[in-house]
Amino acid sequence: MKKFIVWFSLVFGFAFIATVGQPTQQVEASEKTYTIATDVTFPPFVYANSNNKYVGIDMELIKAVAKKEGFKVEIKPIGFNAAIQAVQSGQVDGMIAGMSITTERKKTFDFSNPYYSSGIVMAVKKGSKVTSLKQLKGKTVAIKTGTSGADYANSIKKKYGFKTVTFDDSDSVYDDVKTGNAVACFDDSAVLQYGVKTGLGLKIVTKPTDTGNYGFAVRKGHNQVLLNKFNKGLKALKKDGTYAKIIEKYTGKKAVSAQKKSSENSSDSYTMLALLKQNKSAFISGIEETLWLTIVGILFATIFGILIGLLGVVPSKIAQGLSTTIIYIFRGLPLIVLALFIYNGIPSLTGTKVPAFVAGIITLTLNEGAYIGAFVKGGIEAVDSGQMEAARSLGLPFSKSMRKVVLPQGIKIMIPSFVNQFIITLKDTSILSVIGILELTQTGKIIIARNLQGFRIWAIVAVIYLLMITVLTLLSKWIERRIKN
């Protein structure tokens, strides 16, 4: 028993140190490389173009400032709400995502000088009879998590008697209105005006209100060198005319007209095959990331689960209690909560950055491993107790009785559960998009933000998942037959 506990502690401890226990990586000014979070579903400020390159006002601006001030930036496309949490936890050095400067946010962030001004407007579906706030009584309004539009809607919903439904990305907000699930949405005027002019399918029915300024943000009291560099670079860009050129490039008549024309010309060619060809490299990258997450995740989860399962059947109440507790905790936590805690919570407490991929693997290891531990324990306990008693009566020690007599019978019981868990792990990787991992689901969101073809893109993503699951199922069944034979 002592040897088993020591061995288990060494294996798990080594794996934990190898993944989590990286030295704290403080970004120094001398390195001149900063990680900047953004929301790539926010045109014309940030979005992916037809070549799946991140462009827009914010992207051009931060890159121009970096060039002017002599530092480099690494862009992390993780969504608006996730970006806010990443800055707060210290996972990234700053964020630029059309973030309004507010009194409340100043308590948590340090902002740059304003680089753009915008208000909040309400938009409805084309042909809708809703034209004022008074007509929202008893109806549902769509908003985006953490945005000024959401804050404004929540501040007036009691007064006008409407309900709100919240989404993490802009496209889902707009789709909810276009499908009729919500009668209206609130968003920044600059974003909605651009969308309406380029064929979004909505119309703006109110004048801008709660006008505010956008700013580049860093964690309060941190990265002041970066903040000063941004302010200095912004001032220089405005002076030499670069800033004006960037704004004109994405909001001027030529830019809007070109985008609208492009949308109209390509709208008829948005077939499944055409979309696959246009976004082939993005889909391939998303598939590779999904499969890599699945393979590495299930590998670590299997090791962790087997150790926890075996710990639950050794003749020690302490070991059994530990096994039961671990399974109870990690099987009971929702995967999304566990992912956000590991990616944002741990860095907030320890000051140690956890890379998104590593956070994803740890999340899958703990969650899926808890389920594996449960059916490993259950599979062993399903073997008739007389088998162990008979082996022990012949003089075999517990470890040898387990390895030679009980486990071979228990494995046959566990195999179907292993196959099922492998498939579940593949599907669970989609949840990791909340921490910015560019797997298949996050890839789909980025593509939709550009072409607004939500139904077709999600259909393609669904088919890809089904194909991967089918291949994995056939492979798992083959392995199952081989083991049984």
Q: Are 255 and 248 in contact (CB under 8 A)?
A: yes
Q: Are 123 and 204 in contact (CB under 8 A)?
A: yes
> Do 199 and 319 fall within a single domain?
no
Give the percent of the chain with pLDDT over 70.
Answer: 84
d(CA 228, CA 267) in angstroms, rounded, equals: 44
Single-letter residue type at 222: H
Query: Can you tell me the mean pLDDT for 161-171?
Result: 88
Q: How many domains does the chain have?
A: 3
**For the segment 336-376, what is each residue's pLDDT rounded down to a tens digit?**
999 989 988 888 888 788 888 999 999 999 999 999 888 88
CB atoms within 10 A of CB 218: 23
Alpha carbon 154 to its chain's center: 25
Q: Are 334 and 340 in contact (CB under 8 A)?
A: no
Find where tokens 């009879």 sit. 129
Least confident of 239-248, 386-395, 429-438: 386-395
- On whether the pTM is more than 0.75, the answer is no
Radius of gyration over every alpha carbon of the chain, rounded to an integer in angstroms: 26
d(CA 172, CA 357) in angstroms, rounded, equals: 25
480 to each of 135, 156, 412, 415, how far by Cα in Å?
60, 58, 9, 6
Tell me whether strands 140-144 and 94-95 are parallel, antiparallel or unpaired. unpaired
- From the list 444, 447, 478, 434, the residue with the least C-alpha distance to 464 is 444
State yes or no: pLDDT of 32 exceeds 80: no
The answer to the question of residue 413 being in a domain is yes
- Note the pLDDT of residue 96: 94
Residue 17's pLDDT band, with cuts at 50, 70 and 90, is very low
The answer to the question of residue 179 being in a domain is yes
Break the chain down into helix, strand, coil percent, rounded to 5: 65, 15, 25
Strands (E), 25-81: 33-38, 41-42, 46-48, 54-55, 72-77
> Do 171 and 104 fall within a single domain?
no
Single-letter residue type at 101: I
> Do 285 and 209 fall within a single domain?
no
The answer to the question of residue 256 being in a domain is no
d(CA 88, CA 78) in angstroms, rounded, equals: 14
- Note the pLDDT of residue 437: 84
- Note the pLDDT of residue 140: 94
**Most distant CA pair in the chain: distance in Å?**
89
The answer to the question of residue 255 being in a domain is no
- Note the pLDDT of residue 161: 94
State yes or no: pLDDT of 293 exceeds 50: yes
Query: Can you tell me the mean pLDDT for 427-454?
Result: 81
> Do 223 and 301 fall within a single domain?
no
State yes or no: pLDDT of 164 exceeds 90: yes
d(CA 197, CA 340) in angstroms, rounded, equals: 36
Pair of tokens at residue 391: 């082996």
342 to each of 19, 259, 333, 335, how far by Cα in Å?
12, 40, 12, 11
- From the list 401, 44, 23, the residue with the least C-alpha distance to 191 is 44
Tell me whether strands 184-188 and 140-144 are parallel, antiparallel or unpaired. parallel
- Note the pLDDT of residue 1: 44
Query: Can you tell me the mean pLDDT for 218-240?
Result: 93
Pair of tokens at residue 288: 């590779």
> Do 94 and 121 fall within a single domain?
no
- Note the pLDDT of residue 64: 93
> Do 67 and 132 fall within a single domain?
no
- Alpha-helix residue ranges (DSSP H) falling in 167-210: 170-178, 189-197
Which run of H or E residues covers position 165?
strand 163-167
> Do 308 and 395 fall within a single domain?
yes
> Do 311 and 329 fall within a single domain?
yes
Pair of tokens at residue 334: 């929702």
Instruction: Give, to the nearest 10 degrees, the angle between helix 242-251 and helix 57-69.
Output: 160
**For the segment 45-63, what is each residue's pLDDT rounded down to a tens digit?**
888 777 778 888 999 999 9
For 464, the domain range is 2-21+278-484
Planar angle of CA 31, 220, 70, nearest 5 degrees: 25
Query: Which of 164, 186, 213 is at the close of a domain?
Result: 213
- Note the pLDDT of residue 261: 55
State yes or no: pLDDT of 25 exceeds 70: no
Planar angle of CA 281, 286, 291, nearest 5 degrees: 125
State yes or no: pLDDT of 308 exceeds 70: yes
Q: Are 297 and 424 in contact (CB under 8 A)?
A: no
Q: Are 135 and 161 in contact (CB under 8 A)?
A: no
Query: Which of 180, 213, 246 is at the close of a domain?
Result: 213
- Note the pLDDT of residue 58: 92
> Do 155 and 78 fall within a single domain?
no
**For the segment 102-130, what is each residue's pLDDT rounded down to a tens digit?**
888 999 999 999 999 888 999 999 889 99
- Note the pLDDT of residue 484: 66
Q: CATH code at 143? A: 3.40.190.10
Q: Are 354 and 342 in contact (CB under 8 A)?
A: yes
- Note the pLDDT of residue 255: 57
Query: Which of 186, 213, 240 is at the close of a domain?
Result: 213
The answer to the question of residue 386 being in a domain is yes
Beta-carbon-side half-sphere exposure of residue 266 (alpha carbons within 13 Å)? 18
State yes or no: pLDDT of 187 exceeds 50: yes
State yes or no: pLDDT of 162 exceeds 90: yes
Residue 169's pLDDT band, with cuts at 50, 70 and 90, is confident
Residue 190's pLDDT band, with cuts at 50, 70 and 90, is confident
Select the more confidently predicted residue: 391 or 105.
105
- Note the pLDDT of residue 137: 92
DSSP β-bridge partners for residue 184: 124, 141
d(CA 144, CA 336) in angstroms, rounded, equals: 18
Strands (E), 39-98: 41-42, 46-48, 54-55, 72-77, 94-95
d(CA 414, CA 401) in angstroms, rounded, equals: 18
- Note the pLDDT of residue 329: 93
d(CA 7, CA 15) in angstroms, rounded, equals: 12
Residue 56 has what DSSP assignment? S
> Do 320 and 173 fall within a single domain?
no
**For the segment 233-250, what is each residue's pLDDT rounded down to a tens digit?**
999 999 999 999 998 888
Least confident of 31-40, 91-100, 132-141, 150-159: 31-40
Least confident of 309-318, 363-372, 413-422, 439-448: 413-422
Q: Are 233 and 172 in contact (CB under 8 A)?
A: no
The answer to the question of residue 382 being in a domain is yes
Most confident of the following: 258-262, 286-290, 410-414, 474-478: 286-290
> Do 292 and 433 fall within a single domain?
yes
The answer to the question of residue 221 being in a domain is yes
Find all residues with CB under 8 Å of 398, minimum gap 6, and list them.
Answer: 314, 315, 392
The answer to the question of residue 272 being in a domain is no
Find where tokens 């404004």 sit. 152
Q: CATH code at 412? A: 1.10.3720.10
d(CA 73, CA 93) in angstroms, rounded, equals: 10
- From the list 418, 422, 439, 421, the residue with the least C-alpha distance to 430 is 439
> Do 475 and 385 fall within a single domain?
yes
